[in-house]
Chains A and B, each alone.
Chain A
Amino acid sequence: MEGASYQRFPKVKIRELKDDYAKFELRETDASVANALRRVMIAEVPTIAIDLVEIEVNSSVLNDEFIAHRLGLIPLTSERAMSMRFSRDCDACDGDGQCEFCSVEFHLRAKCINDQTLDVTSKDLYSSDHTVVPVDFSDTSSGFENPEDQRGITIVKLRKGQELRLRAIARKGIGKDHAKWSPAATVTFMYEPEIHINEEMMETLSLEEKTSVVESSPTKVFGINPHTQQVEVVDPEAYTYDDEVLKKVEAMGKPGLVEIYAKEDSFIFTVESTGAVKASQLVLNAIEVLKQKLDAVRLSEDTVEADDQFGELGAHMRGG
């Protein structure tokens, strides 16, 4: 029994990688692992977000709690989050959560003095830690023609004479606690489809029939080769498992003309990050967090010992 192992060796292939986006293939593992990774990325990879707001002056049109909520939702760069402490188990500050090991302080001061409306944005937040700042989208090609137009995330707009002054504390947290701590905008995976066309049967079809098969799919999965006039798979991943083609083929009285299977050990992931951590780092952090979780559910020594004792006793009582 010793030395037995049922370990798998998953394969990864990255198709596309940007700071806030990743698309990759994961093979030779099962849906439980793929789904665990997805769930961890969304709800359990830590980031830093504003958690406590002390408002000094607020004469804006938005009430205090409304502004506090908006501040909480601003993504902050969180490369440090994995190594940072949660305030609840920080022993340096007895749980008030305001020390340098578990928190970052922000200040915001804005007052509108002229007739033009003043936009208070994430750029107006001053951080006590240069590694934890509001996410900056301006260097990415985000579609702003003029860099001047790009001024961060709007928090509130001020009219002449209105003022906003506050202090905010950002802390480490996870998406399970509140969605503001989730580093993921979207994480999805799909089974890789395997599409078979019965060529012989397809040859018996007229061009109109072939076209109707191709057009029965709501997404562009199939196409007709202009030279050979054969039905071909153009993009298998466009298939949404809608069964429309299979129904069409069935209705034509040609079952088996097209067959589609989901490969059960092959997944295509798309990961979009909020910008708090890079998409590639998000995946790596998720693997690390999942490893830590598994480590935490190992049986403790005393559980094993207690069982050894009572186990023998139990065997004895069973008449062993």
Chain B
Amino acid sequence: MSSRVKMASAIVIGGVLAITVAVGFAQAQDAKNNASASRTTTLKPTAVSTAKINPALLRKPEAPARVDWSAAVMQSRAAPINTLNLKAARDPKAPTIQPLAARLPRQELDKTRLPMLMPKTGGMIKIDKAKVVSFGDAYSLNLPQDKGMQLTLMGNRSMIKADRGMISAKARAKVNGVAETVRITKLEDGWTASFRRYGVLYTVDLLCEDLQSASCATDGYLRAAIADISEVSLGAEAMKEAQAAGVK
């Protein structure tokens, strides 16, 4: 390469660098100006070391809860029986699907790895518009009711370890027809209740358009609904786990 070419290259590269530095400086100045103009308070960077974080403050989920498959399978085989359950009666490895669940997308049921608690057939809870979504180790069942009310039932195997006394030392209620104690809480827009059954956490939310309506002014309707949520369906994955756990 001739010295003239080398010099030309050096001039070009130098020029590019100079422009880059100039633009970068201008942009940095712009950024600085914009930052101070757009906020009333100057934001300053603060360095934090992860080493300083108290591990007790990191709330991580525990391994999925161990399910009492034996009790769940027994309940899933209780009446009423539909055609799918007739098959289950002949083949203990077949999923046990109750009437409501039989109307829901099978794919969602089959990938759910826990007992799917659902309203009992012919009970007080309307099931005609039920919709379900599965997360694998959790599911959420939405049940629109009359007068702008809706129930949402969630089952979840994934929980975080609570501090000592956070559950045991707090108020839990007895609900007629329900074996477990239940945490009942009023919401800004309704009521919620949660309880543990088969090793799984179940939550029932009641959302109300009119909080002053008879069904929402007290927890009476929610309590009756909880007592009505008693059927269990087990999809393919759940049944596989139950079988692996030795349940026949």
Do chains A and B interact in one complex?
no
